[in-house]
Structure 1
Amino acid sequence: MNILLEFFVVTFRVLWAFVLAAAKWLVRPKEKSVAGQVCLITGAGSGLGRLFALEFARRRALLVLWDINTQSNEETAGMVRHIYREMAEEAAAAGPGVAGDGEKDVLPHSNLQVYTYTCDVGKRENVYLTAERVRKEVGEVSVLVNNAGVVSGHHLLECPDELIERTMMVNCHAHFWTTKAFLPKMLEMNHGHIVTVASSLGLFSTAGVEDYCASKFGAVGFHESLSHELKAAEKDGIKTTLVCPYLVDTGMFRGCRIRKEIEPFLPPLKPEYCVKQAMRAILTDQPMICTPRLMYMVTFMKSFMGDSYEAGRDLSQDGVGTGVSLVYVAPKCCEYHVMPNPYESCLQEQLGKIERDKSYVVNAHKGTLHSTMEELATTNGIVDHAIINSSKSSTYRALSGEGQRVPGATSGSVEHQPHL
């Protein structure tokens, strides 16, 4: 009898959830205010993280920006301060009503500030130490945006173990550490918002980015389990939002191609559009946002397509990608960032331009760069030939291609640009 009753209760809750979802679809919910609340964004130095910072700044949030790159993080902070200054000037022009004096970084007629911290979220102790500094210098975090991410861009057997570990640490494990650092106070106050910036590749997979897909699947699983845990603890004041965008046109996926037949219908998303949709979801306490909406269908299609889903691999460009994910192929491009040592925190860009009758020597991991240069030779007529020696270094002679960029001579390993 109890089992039957529980069945009806669960069924009713599911149906009620559909009713609420339909109501929110038809009636645009009011956006909540984050003015004056402490908002921490990881990976704020570029890409989506920077755009998130600017959007929260326009809503008068007090911002804490984390990034591994100090310079780019400070550039974002400068943009945020500019927004604060414009709002303060508008308030002053509108007349009295906004009080307060500013210090350094505190804008006139406002109490808005932006704090920057250099933090490698892939290192647990670095996260905990920086979080403690934030609590002492700023206060408790109300909105946590786990945005930082990396991608290696290597096929599984060509990807060094260190890069696989790095991808998992930054894209997945870091979410555990940042959440553990700031969740206790949220639980105590029964107030807060945790945002997980994952990917559509956390809902379905494709070939050539095994480490990235695994890390994003992990981030999605972590977020869903955390949401259930908060509901079980009856902490309704703590909201969660899972952001799963399709391929975003940022530096992180530069060179990732889409099938020509599909690109007109599913082009890479503009970062501004992606963040705008995500912000609307966050400010209306929407549990999940997929952009574009077609991505909502992916997991549903996977559940019943079976063998047809796997058969889709034959439809993808160059035989890369499977089923629903055939719009993706493995990242290949002629533009790279060079990492002198896989353990180094900061990546240094060492790019040059192809010049006629000049050779370029690059230490690549097995065949990744080799296949890229071969592709350039066949598609653009840029590269004449490649000489591969036993030390895994290769010499490429450029015939033409003014303005094309390839890695310069280096003894380091090569990986795609890691930050959004």
Structure 2
Amino acid sequence: MDLADLKAGRLSAADYASNFADAHPPLNRPQALIEAERCYYCYDAPCQTACPTGIDIPTFIQRVAQDNVRGAAEAILTANPLGGMCARVCPTEVLCEQACVRNTNESKPVEIGLLQRYAVEGYLAHPGKPLFTRATPTGRRVAVVGAGPAGLAAAHGLAVHGHDVTLFDANAKLGGLNEYGLATYKVAGGFAQKEVDWLLSVGGITPKLNCRLGRDITLDGLLAEHDAVFLGLGLAGVNALGIAEPELPGLRDAVDFIAELRQSEPSQVAVGRQVVVIGGGMTAVDAAVQSKLLGAEQVTMVYRRGMDGLSASTHEQHWAQTNGVTLRCWARPLAVEAEGGVLTGMRFAATKLEGGKLVDTGEQFTLKADLVLRAIGQTFDAAPAGAAIELQSGRIKTDDDGRTSLARVWAGGDCRAGGKDLTVEAVEHGKRAALSIHTALTGVAHG
């Protein structure tokens, strides 16, 4: 076997189309109506409490049961303007669906995520009259930096309240992780951009693309020209392996690999025969599964602790294994192995817990690989925001409404300290910050 065999176009066009199609097809109308009838429409529903954005789940499901798709979508999008994407990517199995009272006497909760997707996508297919209209323009200007879930939610909320929003993003498209950071099969059909287009249709939002904080704009400059600033910067840094990492064609960051797949045809993305993904989160799963779908023969996810330490949900772990990915725990990277400038594998140290600390057992092993993807977490790059903003545990410190230590500056999403790095949580950050900014700029509280 040629270990330098890193190339694109391993599969047929039909295989690529099948492998990267929608992994979980939506409910059709009869399925949605039947599933909606399973809901008890609970008073003080635990599923709603478990939703970070507080969607009135019983109400939207009842409207689905009544065949009122627009009404269902209105209930969802009022609480979560990115309700369509969240329906696709949220870990509903550990949020609303885990809280469903159907779990008490049955093994299957109401399929809340699929019903939410059915309602929002059904509405977006035939939107008709807008659900939201802008309030009378206030004449206030707000800069939103970062067009991921937090920034988009903040921009939408501010625009609805009549403020003029300039939405800055370093990339060529809006969407942040929704556009660049999720597996292609989770958001097939260009859904991320369809949702962005709908969100912008409310008016009052002016996108400024390929515009990076710290390079093209500064926080001081934005504050000089705007009444307030919201930072939805995400996590731009990638954790290093902690070992020597030579410049090799087959050694790369998983986030870059996933972004390349989202912005290219799968047939154009190079993959190896033997792939090693280092990490245990959702990014690692997305990179590993997609490597397999691109035609890799052997894909192994390696994690330094046990299965119970994986940050990827049980659902994601099963998805990886179902797609032929091997999960190998209790191992940490020791060295990159290469011959003549060509990646040949990774050497690992076996690990164990001893006295509550992770230590090496003394054993070592090597996995052959012509592609190694680093997926051991991302970090917040504080430099572009400047030294004036107070940090906490390496991320921006805020109050519950996203207000930072710097006057007229709010923050939310993954760059904000104390979060869970969930899309739905980022949306809630943006939504709450928009209300806080609106109150600060107008003196009018919004209940």
TM-score scaled to structure 2, two decimals?
0.25
Of structures 1 and 2, the one with the larger relative CO (CA 8 A, separation 6+) is: 2
Greater helix share, 1 or 2? 1
TM-score scaled to structure 1, two decimals?
0.26
